[in-house]
Amino acid sequence: MAQQMMEMPDMSNAIVAQDEMGRPFIIVRDQGNKKRVHGIEAKKTHILAARSVASIIKSSLGPRGLDKILISPDGEITITNDGATILSQMELDNEIAKLLVELSKSQDDEIGDGTTGVVVLAGALLDQALELIDKGIHPIKIANGFDAACKVAIDQLDKVSDDIESNTEILLRAAKTSLGSKIVSKSHDQFAKMAVDAVLSVADKERKDVDFELIKVEGKVGGSLEDSKLIKGVILDKDFSHPQMPKRIEDVKLAILTCPFEPPKPKTKHKLDISSVEEFKNLQDYEQNKFKEMVQQVKESGANLVICQWGFDDEANHLLLQNQLPAVRWVGGPEIELIAIATDGRIVPRFQDLSPEKLGKAGKVYELEFGTTRDRMLVIEECSNSRAVTCFLRGSNRMIVEEAKRALHDSLCVVRNLIRDSRVVYGGGSAEITSSLAVSEAADKQQGIDQYAFRAFANALDTIPMTLAENSGLDPIETLTNIKSRHVKEQNSNLGVDCLGKGSNDMKDLFVVDPLIGKKQQLLLATQLTRMILKINDVIITGKDEY
């Protein structure tokens, strides 16, 4: 038996084992796994995996979209209807489904709004592609057809777009549109004004650009959403280092330090032996003198407030109080940088480098107290560089504050996009319907298989208005049919789904708008992702073929 086992051929995918009686048998590796799938079958599997993810967030589209509760592995709860947030917190095993997460992230990074819509559109395109594959059309033909149809749709969006003058009123109304589907919709007037004021404060009108680094969004639990406000300056989740320091300072000159109030230490390992009271007294005097020297250097520079990145002990704190020098400690690196930008100050790494010209300047600094709680925050207002602003959000619990931050981010992005490009298309699915009609018309002029891909692309575009109607409690097919027929009869490309029951389907009258660059980006990203998935026929993990 042993001789027979020795002469067995080398089987790299098999293991020879013995049972309890000593009889040999062969275990073929991956015997229990499913059969590998290649080619068209693999593509179908990939499409089904991606489609299942898209179907999860489909119900969150539009102003009547539903929220999702996301529970993290450690039990933390998030309630949101933001597509990018939902997908980023989902645990997905399938690599193709993870591409949809990357898709929503791309839309969020580039445009900031429309993260749910882009995933729903990608899912619809994959649905249509699956039907064409079942008809025997080659995936590359479908991908090329979708690409050509996307160009037609984008050309149509350019034709129907309106160039609106980006004045404050227009920006306010656009910001309200983006907040309509969010948890803050009850306070959308206030949040829209906050978003517009914040963006206009930091916008560079000449370059038509907005530096989001200058807009800080800070949240604090307590109060209601109506208590949220825009602060022209910086707000820190800190308070003064000593409770007896003044709570308000006018005409502030800040010393922004990244060096601690501590005696210098040798760079190498050191050991200090103290054997008598005199030696201890000498050491104490040395430390005292060093602290006094540091405080004196700060005072000589003309500073009347110290912002320090590091902490300092009680002795240094007491000396600062004695010398009437208010201080804030443990201020993080990003906050230090923002304070330096806002106050036109320089970050100083050594006390010896302090000088009057390196100090930051602000009109006032004061502590913000919250009712009966001991929570305090520090507000630096009327900074010399007035372009830095902070959106301070309140809410009854942490989940509402976090959702308010996400909603405000989307609104800020919409306003920024309109400053970059003031062209808009109208919402409520009207942009998708007019693009769908244009692609259907172009399909009649196509030769061969391309016309199937064009019609499939048009059907996928119809999914957006149908989903909006479904989420709003309307009959999706009847609503879409009526609006499409009115588009053709009235030659009005602004007609969309009346999600809020305002009694009008003309989105221009209701001023439901989307920035043109955001809508174009949605179409391009969804089409490119579909093309990418159609070109994948196998997934390989650590050298093994998987499907």
- Say if residues 520 and 431 touch (Cβ distance below 8 Å): no
Residue 196 has pLDDT above 70, yes or no: yes
pLDDT band at 460 (very low <50, low <70, confident <90, very high): very high
The predicted pLDDT at position 68 comes to 87
Active site residue 434: no
The predicted model gives 459-485 an average pLDDT of 90
Q: Which of 113, 127, 239, 410 is catalytic?
A: 410
Q: Which of 115, 177, 434, 463 is catalytic?
A: 115
- Say if residues 273 and 254 touch (Cβ distance below 8 Å): no
HEC-encoded secondary structure of 198-261 = HHHHHEECCCCEECHHHEEEEEEEECCHHHCEEECEEEECCCCCCCCCCCEEEEEEEEEECCCC
Q: How far is it, in rounded angstroms, from Cα 52 to Cα 309?
A: 48
The predicted model gives 67-79 an average pLDDT of 85
Residue 182 has pLDDT above 80, yes or no: no
Active site residue 45: no
The predicted pLDDT at position 458 comes to 92
Residue 36 has pLDDT above 70, yes or no: no
Q: What percent of the chain has pLDDT over 90?
A: 8
The predicted model gives 72-99 an average pLDDT of 81
Phi, psi of 112 (to 5 degrees): 95, -25
pLDDT tens per residue, range 420-433: 888 888 888 888 99
Residue 163 gets which letter from DSSP? E
pLDDT tens per residue, range 504-516: 888 888 888 888 8
| Lowest model confidence (mean pLDDT) among 8-12, 387-391, 473-477 | 8-12
pLDDT band at 48 (very low <50, low <70, confident <90, very high): confident
pLDDT band at 125 (very low <50, low <70, confident <90, very high): very high
Q: How far is it, in rounded angstroms, from Cα 236 to Cα 246?
A: 17
Q: How many residues in the chain? A: 547
The predicted pLDDT at position 541 comes to 63
The predicted pLDDT at position 1 comes to 42
Q: How far is it, in rounded angstroms, from Cα 191 to Cα 500?
A: 19
pLDDT band at 134 (very low <50, low <70, confident <90, very high): confident
pLDDT tens per residue, range 514-530: 888 888 988 999 999 99
Q: How far is it, in rounded angstroms, from Cα 190 to Cα 407?
A: 12
Residue 317 has pLDDT above 90, yes or no: no
Q: Which of 78, 82, 177, 390 is catalytic?
A: 82
* Amino acid (1-letter code) at residue 475: D
Residue 51 has pLDDT above 60, yes or no: yes
Residue 29 has pLDDT above 80, yes or no: no
The predicted pLDDT at position 371 comes to 65
Cα atoms found within 13 Å of the Cα of residue 440, Cβ hemisphere only: 13
> What domains lie within the chain, and their CATH numbers?
1-33 (no CATH), 48-163+426-546 (1.10.560.10), 165-232+388-421 (3.30.260.10), 233-385 (3.50.7.10)
Tokens of 254: 């800040």
The predicted model gives 348-376 an average pLDDT of 82
Q: Which helix (H) or strand (E) holds 104?
A: helix 95-110
Q: Which of 78, 80, 85, 116 is catalytic?
A: 116
The predicted pLDDT at position 386 comes to 67
pLDDT band at 322 (very low <50, low <70, confident <90, very high): confident
For the chain, give the mean pLDDT. 81
The predicted pLDDT at position 512 comes to 82
The predicted model gives 241-254 an average pLDDT of 87
The predicted pLDDT at position 269 comes to 67
pLDDT tens per residue, range 141-174: 999 999 999 999 999 999 888 887 767 888 888 8
pLDDT tens per residue, range 262-277: 776 666 666 767 778 8
The predicted pLDDT at position 455 comes to 92
Q: How far is it, in rounded angstroms, from Cα 433 to Cα 459?
A: 10
15 or 538, greater pLDDT: 538
The predicted pLDDT at position 8 comes to 44
pLDDT tens per residue, range 401-422: 888 888 888 888 888 888 888 8
Active site residue 82: yes
9 or 391, greater pLDDT: 391
| Lowest model confidence (mean pLDDT) among 36-45, 195-204, 307-316, 430-439 | 36-45
pLDDT tens per residue, range 103-121: 888 888 878 777 888 889 9
